[in-house]
Amino acid sequence: MQAHDIMTSRVYKVKESDTVRAVIEKFIDHRISGLPVVNDRNEIVAYVSDGDIMRYIGKHEDVVIDVLYFSTVLKGDAEEFEERARSLLQLNVMRIAHRKVLTVSWDEEIEQIAAILGKKHIKKLPVERNGVLVGIISRGDVVRHTFKRFL
């Protein structure tokens, strides 16, 4: 079985000129956690995930909290967190996306796809054909297609 046999052809994606707002809207609307970022020729140039969002809005430094100032620090942290979240929406997606993207070829075998997903601890792999995005494969796709004939 090859990538084209199990991939999802309808791929949600964003363009490299989009803001993070477009990414988060697609995450919410389609209940997904990652998107390929493509150029005008539909070539994959990056990948953005919910993990990239978490890294941006999360605390960027280690902070030691003094017990006497605990409530003041928490209030300041909440305001700071909200400001990071608001500012993130305006950023270009390429500011937070990973530019080194693992992909698989249209004709990659399912065993190799399973090995990549497992070894690299990633949830999805974009599928390319002649350098162009044609699909996406998730860990769930591999499990469903591998085991449905045994159940």
Count of Cβ atoms closer than 10 Å to residue 20 Cβ: 23
Structural domains of the chain in order of their starting residue, each with its CATH number:
3-147 (3.10.580.10)
Does 141 score more than 80 pLDDT? yes
Q: Which among 90, 89, 64 has a CA at the least distance from the CA of 77? A: 64
Q: Over the stretch 70-109, which tens digit does the pLDDT of each residue have?
A: 444 444 566 777 887 888 899 999 999 999 999 999 999 9
pTM > 0.85: no
**Under 8 Å between Cβ of 47 and 38:** no
